Amino acid sequence: MALLNILTLPDKRLKTVAKPIEQVTDDIKKLADDMLDTMYAAPGIGLAATQVDKHIQLVVMDISEEKNQPRVFINPKITARNGEQVHEEGCLSVPGIYADVTRAEEITVQFMDLNGQQQELTTDGLLAVCIQHEIDHLKGIVFLDHLSVLKRKMALKKLAKVAETVPLDAN
């Protein structure tokens, strides 16, 4: 088990657009395992490779209460969106900040699994929110980018104050 360092704002590497994964290798599988360990330890419910300074299209998540239903999405792409929901979101890369974000209520996502097989999933609710949030990271987007300019400025100001109170070696 290796815990990875999670990038936090204002780190500009979070704006990097991730590249597709050509094939599932042992290194990709190990990175997915390390990302899951990191996500559980943080604790969080989702983590994109971009957040651990690996700029490839890999996302892990587990929204179960028991933290025993890990999911891995490679090269995820949303192919359908329906409806709208507002959900309070937080992010391991934006510690201590939470805000309501509007996203699709139901999505269909195509992705490759850890066996290199193409999959398709239609889902809604929290899982749909989490998938959309993590795919945003792969595009260099953080949830604050969905807020109004005023709310984003307020959140960034609060984030700066939180950063001032955290010791430098706290990551």
Number of separate domains in the chain: 1
Residue 139: predicted pLDDT? 98
> Is 120 part of a structural domain of the chain?
yes
- Catalytic position from the list 88, 89, 134, 164: 134
Integer Cα distance of 61 and 71 in angstroms: 5
Whether 5 maps to a domain, the answer reads: no
Q: Note whether residue 170 is domain-resident.
A: no
Q: pLDDT tens digits, residue range 36-92?
A: 999 999 999 999 999 999 999 999 999 999 999 999 999 999 999 999 999 999 999
pLDDT in tens, 96-116: 999 999 999 999 999 999 999
Does residue 75 contact residue 18 with C-beta atoms inside 8 Å? no
Residue 169, pLDDT above cutoff 70: no
Other Cβ atoms less than 10 A from the Cβ of 116: the count is 12
Which residue's entry shows tokens 């994964």? 21
Whether 21 is covered by a domain: the verdict is: yes
**163 or 90, greater pLDDT:** 90
Number of other residues whose CB lies within 10 A of the CB of residue 103: 21
The domain in which residue 48 lies consists of 17-165
Percent of the chain with pLDDT over 70: 96
Is 106 part of the annotated catalytic residue set?
Answer: no
Q: What is the pTM of this model?
A: 0.92
CATH number of the domain that residue 141 is part of: 3.90.45.10
Within a domain: 33: yes
Q: For residues 56-82, b (16+ Cβ closer than 10 Å) or e, as one string?
A: bbbbbbbeeeeeeeebbbbbbeeeeee
Look at the alpha carbons of 148, 152, 153, 158 in this order and tell me if their dihedral is positive or negative: positive
Residue 142 lies in a domain: yes
